[in-house]
Structure 1
Amino acid sequence: MQIHGTIHSFPKEIKTLILVFLVILSIGYFTGLVFVNDTSSANPDSIQEHYLGNENDDNAQVMKFKKSEREMLTLVHNHILSLSLIFFVLALILSTTSINKKIKHFLMFEPLVSVVLTFGGIYLMWMGITWFKYIVMISGTLMTLSYISAVILIITQLFKKKLS
């Protein structure tokens, strides 16, 4: 049985292009995660402190001030636009794989939902709904796990032989 239009049937040049794209994209993605870990220690309270500041904490080792509305709008705008494009392209590539449909659909749509929850949640947390720090943490983690899973599955599919 031959499957037309799947990643297995792509020319070698396209497969190589996808592989190189995923490697470079992953370098950028994980550099961003290193930055998040460096600025907020990747825990809910540190995330809240990063955006809302710690001016009232006399014992703070590093003084942080609440982000301005302009900073927040820029951050939310830039991240929602760029990550939605990244996950859209990843979903397009993933759609050409022969993995289980339920897993495929989850990995195609979940990161887009998580982008909105993560960065919308950061904005709502900044607006004073501080319990959103937990939503931000969960959705950010889920977004990253989805990213890693999608990239691994795509790369695995790139090396799979053509089905005939």
Structure 2
Amino acid sequence: MSSVREQVLQAVFAKVEAVRVALEWTTAVRNPSDPLGDDQLNALVMFDGGLLDPRGLSGGVQEDEVEFSIGLIIREKESEGVAKEALIDAGFVAVMDALLDRNDIQLGGLVEMIEARGGSDPVYGRAEKGARVVGGMVMDFSARFLAREGDASQVGP
């Protein structure tokens, strides 16, 4: 069975994929190995982060926290009449609402909570070749969870 950390990241990515479907964007990818092509935009990109220092250990249960980032990469399409800022904002709202959903802030009991940790400014510019306008933004999050000491795949307590 996967570690609790991996279970958390898989649950988060499932929410990212649901956002992709709701927005009708082209791509959702976790830890991409290759650059995304123009045909893959608009895209949601998830990057796994590391574990923060454990907060404590009590009764064989350790409180851990994993970081992750969600990136938005958009291509403005003048023919559709949607401005680049509106595309970034739609992605931002959808990701925030999905991950910080009060009705599932614990990812079905897998985590204690997910927190937004900040992120980058939105950036926009023209592609090196052609007239395409692209943009991007990254949002940082962390998720606190309990794990059993000596059993990294078991959610505590």
Q: Indicate whether the TM-score tops 0.5.
A: no
- Give the number of the structure whose alpha-carbon radius of gyration is greater: 1
What TM-score does the superposition give when structure 2 sets the normalisation length?
Answer: 0.31
What TM-score does the superposition give when structure 1 sets the normalisation length?
Answer: 0.30
